[in-house]
Amino acid sequence: MSTDGDRYVLVLGCPDSTGIVARIAGFLGEIGAWIVEAAYHSDPDTGWFFTRQAVRADTLSLSVQELRDRFDREVVRHLGPGTSWHVTDTSVRKRAVLLVSKEGHCLGDLLGRAYRGELPADVLEVIGNHHDQEDFATRMGVPFRRISFGDDPQEAFAALADRVDALDPDVIVLAKFMRVLPPWLCERWAGRAINIHHSFLPSFVGARPYHRAYERGVKLIGATCHYVTADLDAGPIIEQDVIRVDHADSVADLVRQGRDIEKLVLARGLRWHLEDRVLVHGNKTVVFD
Amino acid sequence: MSTDGDRYVLVLGCPDSTGIVARIAGFLGEIGAWIVEAAYHSDPDTGWFFTRQAVRADTLSLSVQELRDRFDREVVRHLGPGTSWHVTDTSVRKRAVLLVSKEGHCLGDLLGRAYRGELPADVLEVIGNHHDQEDFATRMGVPFRRISFGDDPQEAFAALADRVDALDPDVIVLAKFMRVLPPWLCERWAGRAINIHHSFLPSFVGARPYHRAYERGVKLIGATCHYVTADLDAGPIIEQDVIRVDHADSVADLVRQGRDIEKLVLARGLRWHLEDRVLVHGNKTVVFD
Amino acid sequence: MSTDGDRYVLVLGCPDSTGIVARIAGFLGEIGAWIVEAAYHSDPDTGWFFTRQAVRADTLSLSVQELRDRFDREVVRHLGPGTSWHVTDTSVRKRAVLLVSKEGHCLGDLLGRAYRGELPADVLEVIGNHHDQEDFATRMGVPFRRISFGDDPQEAFAALADRVDALDPDVIVLAKFMRVLPPWLCERWAGRAINIHHSFLPSFVGARPYHRAYERGVKLIGATCHYVTADLDAGPIIEQDVIRVDHADSVADLVRQGRDIEKLVLARGLRWHLEDRVLVHGNKTVVFD
Amino acid sequence: MSTDGDRYVLVLGCPDSTGIVARIAGFLGEIGAWIVEAAYHSDPDTGWFFTRQAVRADTLSLSVQELRDRFDREVVRHLGPGTSWHVTDTSVRKRAVLLVSKEGHCLGDLLGRAYRGELPADVLEVIGNHHDQEDFATRMGVPFRRISFGDDPQEAFAALADRVDALDPDVIVLAKFMRVLPPWLCERWAGRAINIHHSFLPSFVGARPYHRAYERGVKLIGATCHYVTADLDAGPIIEQDVIRVDHADSVADLVRQGRDIEKLVLARGLRWHLEDRVLVHGNKTVVFD
C-alpha cells in the first residue's frame, strides 16, 4: 500500500509534435493524478520532446502496472516512432553496485550517505579490484568482493559482469574504478553505468588529468559524472563542477582539492539517476533536477 | 504580422488543483499552439500553482487579444479565486526607465547592453538625482533628466513619479539610485520597480553594506536584485550572486569587485523580468529561467 | 629525527613597522632555513602585520625548541607590544575532539577523512549529547562518549569541559553540536573551538536558518565555519561558501543540499586551522590558504 | 612628485636559493621602503622563485631610476642566471590598445571601465578589422582605426604591427579580434598581447567553441584569458571562469550567457596584467592577485 510520500514517476522521450502535453496532462487528469513535479523540454535541434512527471501514488486507485498499461494504450501508441518511456514506483528501492579500486574518497562518501539514509538506493555490494577498500566497506556493513584484474583482465571483466548482473542493479557506479570497461560491457550496461572522471571534460580525457591540468596551468579544476560508453570519457555528461586553484597548488594539492569536487559531482549525478531525473538522447542528457 | 521569432508568453498563478495542467494544455493544443517553453511549479506550502508558456505566434491564427479573450473564457473562469495571469506579445518592445545617482557601473552596463541590442527593452530615459551620469547617457543616445532631491525630497519624488508614469514603462530600474522610495511610490510601482542592493540579503540591509561586510570579516560578498517594496531591502528577491574575497581585500577592493557582481545580478534579474519569467507570490518569486 | 616532509611553521602577528620582513627573513636566512611557504599581510586599518612561514625541518640543525628560543631572542623582542607568535612542528600530530548531536553528516565526513588519512590530526574522541552517532563512531574505530544535557545542562557543560580538557586537544569541533556553549566555556576554548553554522552569516543567526532562508526566498544558501565566542554565531569567520537554490526547493531540499556545503566548509576551515593557516585578530581572521 | 597613493612595484623571477627573501627584504628595509603588498612563490618543480613587492613611493627618497640602479647592483647581481625583473611606477599611466572585430561586448565592457576610471590604463586606440565598433568607440571618445583584412591579410598584419608599435602600448588586448596572429607577431608582442577565448581551455581550442560545447552537452561553459603565443589558444593562462548551463540552453543561449563570463574574465586578467601581478614562467603564470 502506498504511503503519502510514494510517487509514481513517469519519464518519456518522443518525437515532438503539437498536442503531446495536452494528451499526457489529459490522461493524468482523467485518472485523477495529483502532479507533484512536472518538467518538460522540447529540443529544437533534434525535434525531440522530453518530460518527467511525478504523481502522488496515494491519489490514484491504479496500481503502477495498471498505470503503465493504460498509459501505453491511451498515450504512447499515439506518439511517434522511437518513443521511449518508463514509470517507476518510488516505494520500490533502487539497487546499486559500487566498483572501486584503491582510492576510497568517493566510495566513502557514497557509503556514508547510504548509512545515513541519504541515498535513494540500497548498496548491494562493493566490488574492488584491490583489497584496499574492503575494511571500510566491511565497517559500513556492506559486502565486499575482490575481483583481481592482475592476471587476466578479460576473464576478470567476465567475472565482474556475471556478478553484477546476478545482483540485477539499477545502477553500477564506477566510484574511482580506474579501469576502462571493454566495449561489450559498456554495451551491456548502457544507461546504467556511471563514472566519475577527475577533470572538467572534454579537457584531459584519459589518464592523469590532474598532472596534465597542472602542466597546462589551468586556474580551475573540475570533475565530470557521465554514463559509460565505449568511447573513453566521452559518454553523456550528467553533471560537472569546478573549483578554483592557483599557481601555489602542487599536483598533490590539485588531487586533494579535486577529491571534494569528485565526491560532490558523483553524488549529485547518482541521485539524479536514481530519481529518474536524467534522460539520455544521443550523446547528451536532459536533467530535470 | 508575427515573424518566426515572435512569441506569445502566458504567465499564470492560481490556487492549485487537479486538472489545471490538462486544461491549459488542452486549450493550447486546441488552438494549435506550438509550445516552445513550458514551465510549471506547484508550491505545497501555499497551495498555489504557477506556469509560464511561450508559444510561437506564427503558428496561431489568433491575434494576441483573441488569445487573451479565449483563454479568459475557456480556462481562467474555471480556476480558483485569486488567479492572476497575463499574456504578452514579444513583438511589442518592453519599455524601461533607469534611475541613477552618481555611480555609473550598473547604468553603463545596462546602456551598453541596450546599445548592442542585448536588452529586450527600449530604454526611454535615464533619470538622475545628480548630473554625474548625464554625459554617459547622452553619449549612448539616451535622454537624461535631472531631478534634484536636494531641497525638497517629497516634491522631487512627486516629480519623479509624474515623469516616470508619463513614460508608462514596463519596468523602473533603480540602477544604484541610492534613495529610498516613499511607501506610496513603492505601492504605485509594485511589481515594476527593480532594485540592486550591494549585499547578499538579508545580510547588511540598508546603508554601507561593503563597510559592514568588511567589519564582519565575511569571506564572500554578494549582490541582490529584488522588487522594491515599502520594507527597505525586504522585497521579493529575483536573483543573487556572490564572489570570494579575503583578508587582503580592503573596503575599496570589496567595492571594486562588488561592482562586477552587482552588474551581473541586475542584468540577469532585469532580463528575467522583461521576459516575463518572474512570478511574484507573497514576498517570494518563482523564476522560470 | 625530522624527515623530508616535516616542517616548522612560524606564525606571527605584531604591530606593523618598517623592517619586520627584513628582520624575519634575515633570521631565517642566517639559520639556513629553506622556506617552503611564506605569506604576509599588512592590515592598514589596524596597523597590524601578519606572517606565516613554513620551513623544511631537515634543512635546520636546530631543534624546534632551539628555534623558538632564538626567534624569541633575536626577533620577537624587537617587535612591538601585543606581538603574538608560535612555532609548530608538523611531525607532532595535532589532536582533535569532535562534538556532535543527532545529525551525522559533518561527523561522517570528518571521520571518513580521518580514516583515509586526509585529516592532519588524530581524532581522540567523539562526544555526543545523544547516542545517535555512537554506532558510526564505533564503526570508524573512534571512542564515543555520551554526555546527556537533558537534566542539568550546566552540569553537563562542566563534565564536557573536564573531559575535553583532559584530552588536551588542539581543536574542538562542534560538528553539528546544536548547543550554545556557555560564555565561560567559550572563553576557556577561545581560538580552539570551531563551529559550523548552516547559513551564510551574518544572515540567519541562531535557530532554523534553512526555514528562514526558505521564507525569505533567497536564491543561494550557505554555510559558515567560525571560531566560537560568547556572541552567538558572531565569532571570527574562517570560511564560507554557498550553493544555488530555487523556488522549487522545499525546506527539506535546502536541508539536503545544505549538508554538502556544510561538510565542505567545515572540512576546509578545520584543515586551515590544523595547518596553522588561520590568524585571529580582533573579530576577523587572516587565512593564509 | 609622488603622491600618497603612488607605488613602486618590483617584480622578480629567479632561480630559487636560500637567502633571497632576506636579501630583498634587507635591501627594502635599508632604503626605508614601506611595503604595502608582498607576495612570494617558490616553485618546487622548476626550482624558480617569484616575488612581487609594492612599496609606497612617498616613503622613499630615491627616484624610480635610482631604485632600479641600486636594486640591480645590490640584489640582482647576486641572483642566479636567468633572473628577470622590473620595477614600475604606478604614477606613470599604462597604455593599452584594443583590437576588435564585429562583436562589441568585451570592447564595450573595457571602454565603459576606462570611461569610469576603473581601468589602470589609458586606451590609446581601438583597431578593428571591420567598422562595426567604430560608432561605439567614437561615442566613448576613443580613436578608432580600421585595418581591413579582406584583401591581403599578411599586409594587414604588417600594417597592424606598425600602427600598434608606433603607439608603444604596455598591452595589446584582443577583445574578440577573431583573427589568429602570425607567429612573427606573437613573438614581437610576447608577454604583452592578451586574448580572451570563449571556452574553458584546453577544451574547445579554435573555432566555434560554444557550438562544440553544445554538441558535447557540457554542464558548464567558460572563458579563458591568456597570453598570445604562436600555438593557437595554448599560451599561458591568466584567468578562467565558468557558468552553469543546462539542456534547455540553445547555442544562442550559450553565446549570450558566455558574453558575461568573457567580459569578466578578460577584465580581471587585464587588470592583473596592468598592475604587474602576472609573472610568466615557461607556459604558466604566477598571479599575485
Tell me: pLDDT of A281 over 90.
yes
**Do residues C98 and C196 share a domain?**
yes
What integer pLDDT is reported at residue A226 of this predicted model? Answer: 98
**Do residues D250 and D113 share a domain?**
yes
Which of D222, D242, D283 is nearest residue A217 as measured by Cβ atoms? Answer: D283
Which of C19, C33, C40 is nearest residue D29 as measured by Cβ atoms? Answer: C19
Name, of A44-48, C197-201, D56-60, the range with top average pLDDT: C197-201
Tell me: pLDDT of C1 over 50.
no
What integer pLDDT is reported at residue C18 of this predicted model? Answer: 85
For residue A30, give the C-alpha cell.
482523467
**Do residues D124 and D180 share a domain?**
yes
The 10s digit of each residue's pLDDT in A96-131 is 999 999 999 999 999 999 999 999 999 999 999 999
What integer pLDDT is reported at residue D3 of this predicted model? Answer: 59
CA–CA gap between residue A60 and residue C87 (Å, rounded): 68
The total of other beta-carbon atoms located within 10 Å of residue D142's CB is: 19
Comparing CA positions, the residue from C109, C101, C104, C283 lying closest to residue C201 is: C283
Query: Which of A39, A63, A89 is at the close of a domain?
Result: A89
D138 against A36, higher pLDDT:
D138
Q: Is A233 among the residues known to form the active site?
A: yes
Percentage of chain A exceeding pLDDT 70 = 99
Percentage of chain D exceeding pLDDT 70 = 99
Interface contact A109, partner C, CB < 8 A = yes
Spatial strand order of the sheet with C48-56 comes to C35-43, C48-56, C7-15, C84-89
Tell me: pLDDT of A1 over 70.
no
Give A222's contacts in chain D (Cβ within 8 Å).
220
Comparing CA positions, the residue from D128, D6, D125 lying closest to residue D55 is: D6
Instruction: Please report whether residue B2 resides in a domain.
Output: no
**Do residues C101 and C75 share a domain?**
no
Give A141's contacts in chain C (Cβ within 8 Å).
139
Interface contact flag, A285 D201, Cβ < 8 Å: no
Interface contact flag, C217 B200, Cβ < 8 Å: no
Distance from CA of A139 to the nearest CA of C (A): 5
Domain that holds residue C65: 7-89
Identify the DSSP state of D233. T
The 10s digit of each residue's pLDDT in C35-74 is 889 999 999 889 999 999 999 999 899 999 999 999 999 9
Task: Say if CB A31 and CB A62 are below 8 A apart.
Answer: yes
Instruction: Please report whether residue A1 resides in a domain.
Output: no
User: Once rounded to an integer, what is the mean pLDDT over residues A185-211?
Assistant: 97
Q: How far is CA C59 from CA B150, C33, C36, D20, D97, in A?
A: 68, 6, 11, 16, 49
Choice among A6, A151, A170, A233 that is catalytic: A233
Indicate the SS3 state at residue A127.
strand
Q: Return the CATH number at B29.
A: 3.30.70.260
CA–CA gap between residue B243 and residue B222 (Å, rounded): 6
CA–CA gap between residue B174 and residue B228 (Å, rounded): 9
Those of residues 12-71 in B touching chain D at CB distance below 8 A are 37
**Do residues A76 and A136 share a domain?**
no
Interface contact A241, partner D, CB < 8 A = yes
Q: Which helix (H) or strand (E) holds A262?
A: helix A251-274
CA–CA gap between residue A283 and residue A280 (Å, rounded): 7
Distance from CA of D23 to the nearest CA of A (A): 22
Query: Which of D69, D89, D109 is at the close of a domain?
Result: D89
What integer pLDDT is reported at residue D207 of this predicted model? Answer: 94
What integer pLDDT is reported at residue B1 of this predicted model? Answer: 43
User: Once rounded to an integer, what is the mean pLDDT over residues D119-148?
Assistant: 98
Those of residues 129-168 in A touching chain C at CB distance below 8 A are 136, 139-141
**Do residues C20 and C156 share a domain?**
no
Q: How many domains does chain C have?
A: 2
**Do residues A110 and A64 share a domain?**
no
Identify the DSSP state of A79. S
**Do residues A126 and A257 share a domain?**
yes
Indicate the SS3 state at residue C213.
helix
Q: Which residues contact A55 (CB under 8 A, 6 or more apart)?
A: A7, A8, A10, A28, A33, A34, A35, A36
Q: Return the CATH number at A226.
A: 3.40.50.170
**Do residues D283 and D163 share a domain?**
yes
**Do residues B79 and B103 share a domain?**
no
What integer pLDDT is reported at residue A3 of this predicted model? Answer: 60
Distance from CA of B159 to the nearest CA of A (A): 46
**Do residues D197 and D135 share a domain?**
yes
Instruction: Please report whether residue A254 resides in a domain.
Output: yes
Instruction: Please report whether residue D2 resides in a domain.
Output: no
Name, of B4-18, C251-265, D11-25, the range with top average pLDDT: C251-265
Interface contact flag, A204 D202, Cβ < 8 Å: yes
What integer pLDDT is reported at residue C147 of this predicted model? Answer: 97
What integer pLDDT is reported at residue A4 of this predicted model? Answer: 64
Residues (pLDDT < 70) of chain B are 1-4
Choice among C16, C69, C233, C241 that is catalytic: C233
Which of B29, B34, B44 is nearest residue A22 as measured by Cβ atoms? Answer: B29
Instruction: Please report whether residue C84 resides in a domain.
Output: yes
**Mean model confidence pLDDT for chain A:** 95
| Residues of B classed as catalytic | 233
Interface contact flag, B240 C220, Cβ < 8 Å: yes
Interface contact flag, D44 A203, Cβ < 8 Å: no
**Do residues A31 and A144 share a domain?**
no
User: Once rounded to an integer, what is the mean pLDDT over residues A265-273?
Assistant: 98
Task: Say if CB D225 and CB D238 are below 8 A apart.
Answer: yes
Interface contact B206, partner C, CB < 8 A = no
Chain A partners (3+ C-beta pairs within 8 A) = B, C, D
Instruction: Please report whether residue A79 resides in a domain.
Output: yes
pLDDT band at D59 (very low <50, low <70, confident <90, very high): confident
The 10s digit of each residue's pLDDT in B144-173 is 999 999 889 999 999 999 999 999 999 999
User: Once rounded to an integer, what is the mean pLDDT over residues A180-202?
Assistant: 97
Helices (H), chain D: 20-30, 64-74, 105-115, 134-139, 153-167, 183-188, 209-216, 251-274
The 10s digit of each residue's pLDDT in D198-237 is 999 999 999 999 999 999 999 999 999 999 999 999 999 9
Instruction: Please report whether residue D280 resides in a domain.
Output: yes
Instruction: Please report whether residue B1 resides in a domain.
Output: no
For residue C248, give the C-alpha cell.
522549487
Query: Which of B89, B122, B157 is at the close of a domain?
Result: B89
